[in-house]
Amino acid sequence: MTSFMPQALKRTALILFPAFDWCISPTHPEREERLLYTRDQLIEEGLEDVDNIVFLNPELASHADIDRVHLCAPSSQKLLTESHLISAGATLRVARAVMDKEADNAFAIVRPPGHHAMQTVFGDRGFCIVNIEAIMIEYIRRHYGVRKIAIVDTDCHHGDGTQDIYWNDPDTLFISLHQDGRTLFPGTGFVRETGGPAADGYTINLPLPPNTGEDGFDMVMERVVMPILDEFKPELIINSAGQDNHYTDPITNMNFTAQGYARLNQRLNPDICVLEGGYSIEGALPYTNLGIILAMAGMDYSHVKEPDYDQARFRQPEEMSRYIAGVCDKALEVFANRGKAKEAALQKKVVSERKSIFYDTTGFNVDEVRRYHLCPDCPGYTEVTASSPRAEIHAYTVPFNACPTCQRTARDLFTAARPLPQTITALQDRVADIYETK
């Protein structure tokens, strides 16, 4: 029979939820209008009628889904609006679509984004309050028993929140491709940031120079991302699909294209994509999102080109290619040396790390100390203390892959801990799926 609509070779689930009635503030880049033109393009293309592409509505995540990942002060109930629960809930819905084999892969085109949200949350950071990828990943681990997961963050900004949450987890490989932190928010994501004491070498940062285009991204994918993934052998690949590397993005300085994003996703073949940033809402997003969807669905994306696209315009100078090749080599070295730091750390039993986290939206600093309690059998539990000008967090967190001893020790310490005024004292036990505060 003649087919009057194109067919997707892979069954692809989409949540397109532009939240037309939510914004950070009316003229903020994260505004109501952000996904209007993307919605218009996707609907006009007739994607809803393409065989094997399914559109789903988001659902609301529960506060337990948030508390499984984050330590919120004063609480997830107080910090999150319904819009945040919906964008997090959308990732849970697409995860179910993939895990229950309703679809081969899925893309949540939602807002607000999440990859700047760290484990401790005191407010909005880099347009994000909660990390929607991490909420999804821990949901998948909880409900489907998946262990090894890789996150490839292709947003132009370093995925510092995701890095922070999975810093000490050797079962989560975090790879971030981004514009060099010396030239862009959040100012992190250097090659030397390689992971916590139990997961050294499982955080791979690829800071790319401003004006990197298709050639540079192709090189990084080919030389670093794909070989590392082949070796890590994740059960699931997640793409934090920010689209602000685009040459028209107003708040970044890169030269990536819709064709480039589509090719990247074709090569990466992610199980789930989650939209992150991307603020060229007219000139880029309608085309980059469409390109990514078609690539995921195994459809022809050769006609998805920005109106002013001219490949020749973005040819990369030799010198830049050489520089990026150097970044690739260093990143490969980080992965090759993975796990070696743990031996030394085990001798010390406890390793402390301190960091200062800047909340750019309202402008305040959080001082955070993590004490990693190392264990030969598991990544170990962590004691977190964090203080903002208004609230403090004192928590014991037990990762999903912790051993029973670490789990019990964290519980005992929490029970013994004395509650303090203005302080959230918490136990976050992902093994037992418990979040308790006092």
Partner 1 sequence: MIIGIDVGGTHADGVLLEGARLVAKHKVAVDQEHLSESIISLLGALIPKDRRQLERVHLSSTLATNAIVTGSLDPIGMLIQAGPGINPEFLANNGPTWFLDGAIDHRGHIIRDPDPKLIDEAIAAMLQAGIDSVGIVTKFSHRNSIHERYIADRLGSRFSHICMGHQISGLPNFPRRVYTTWLNASLTARFAQFKKAIEQGLAHLGVDCPCHILKADGGTIPFARAIEFPCESVHSGPSASVMGCLALAGQPGDAILLDIGGTTTDISLLVDGTPLLEPYGINIAGRPTLIRALNTVSVGLGGDSTVAFAEKEFRIGPKRSGPPMAQGGTTPTPTDAMVVLGLLAVGSAERAAAAMETLCPGKPPADTARHLLTVFSERIRLEVAAMIDSVFSRPVYTVSALLQRRRISPERLIVIGGPAAALRQNLENCFNLPCLVPADYEVANAIGAARTQLTAQATLYADTADGRVSIPEISCLEDISNRFGMAEAESKLEQVICGIASDMGMTDRPTIDFLERLEMNVIRGFETSGKILNLKAQIRPGLAAIKGEQP
Task: Please identify every residue annotated as catalytic.
Answer: 116
Inter-CA distances, 127 with 18, 114, 322, Å: 15, 8, 34
| Contact by Cβ (8 Å): 245, 254 | yes
Q: Is 55 in the site for partner 1 (CB under 8 A)?
A: yes
Q: Is 287 in the site for partner 1 (CB under 8 A)?
A: yes
> Any idea what the Cα angle at residue 92 is, between residues 193 and 243, rounded to 5°?
50
Distance between CA 19 and CA 23 in Å, rounded?
Answer: 8
From 10, 39, 142, 267, residue interacting with partner 1 (rule: CB under 8 A): 39
Q: Is 132 in the site for partner 1 (CB under 8 A)?
A: no
Q: List CB contacts of 417: < 8 A, sequence separation 6 or more.
A: 394, 396, 425, 438
From the list 71-79, 129-137, 281-289, 411-419, the region that binds partner 1 by CB under 8 A is 281-289
Distance between CA 382 and CA 368 in Å, rounded?
Answer: 12
The torsion angles phi and psi of 160, rounded to 5 degrees, stand at: -65, -30
- Toward partner 1, which CB reaches closer, 20 or 365? 20
- Toward partner 1, which CB reaches closer, 20 or 358? 20
Residue 426, token pair as written in the block: 């918490």
Q: List CB contacts of 380: < 8 A, sequence separation 6 or more.
A: 168, 198, 372, 373, 374, 402, 406
Least separation, in Å, of the C-beta of 291 and partner 1?
10
From the list 65-73, 125-133, 287-295, 411-419, the region that binds partner 1 by CB under 8 A is 287-295
| Contact by Cβ (8 Å): 394, 388 | no
Question: Contacts with partner 1: how many residues (CB under 8 A)?
Answer: 51
Q: Is 100 in the site for partner 1 (CB under 8 A)?
A: no
Q: Is 86 in the site for partner 1 (CB under 8 A)?
A: yes
Least separation, in Å, of the C-beta of 36 and partner 1?
6
Scan residues 369-408 and list those touching partner 1 (CB under 8 A): none
Residue 383, token pair as written in the block: 């004691």
- Toward partner 1, which CB reaches closer, 31 or 371? 31
Least separation, in Å, of the C-beta of 377 and partner 1?
44
Q: List CB contacts of 347: < 8 A, sequence separation 6 or more.
A: none
Q: Is 40 in the site for partner 1 (CB under 8 A)?
A: yes
Scan residues 302-361 and list those touching partner 1 (CB under 8 A): 302-307
From the list 225-233, 286-294, 321-329, 422-430, the region that binds partner 1 by CB under 8 A is 286-294
From 196, 286, 379, 399, residue interacting with partner 1 (rule: CB under 8 A): 286
Q: How many CB atoms lie within 10 A of CB 144?
A: 14
Q: Roughly how many angstroms between the first and final C-alpha of the chain, as a whole number?
A: 65
| Contact by Cβ (8 Å): 126, 97 | no
Q: Is 215 in the site for partner 1 (CB under 8 A)?
A: no
Q: Is 300 in the site for partner 1 (CB under 8 A)?
A: yes
- Toward partner 1, which CB reaches closer, 302 or 337? 302
Least separation, in Å, of the C-beta of 294 and partner 1?
7
| Contact by Cβ (8 Å): 407, 398 | yes
Distance between CA 203 and CA 177 in Å, rounded?
Answer: 11
Scan residues 10-29 and list those touching partner 1 (CB under 8 A): 16-22, 26-27
Radius of gyration of the chain (CA): 21
Least separation, in Å, of the C-beta of 94 and partner 1?
14
Scan residues 58-77 and list those touching partner 1 (CB under 8 A): 58
H-type alpha helices, 101-256: 132-144, 160-165, 214-220, 226-232
From 10, 24, 36, 226, residue interacting with partner 1 (rule: CB under 8 A): 36
| Interface residue list for partner 1 (CB under 8 A) | 1-6, 16-22, 26-27, 31-33, 36-37, 39-41, 43-49, 55-58, 82-83, 86, 250, 282, 286-287, 290, 294, 299-300, 302-307
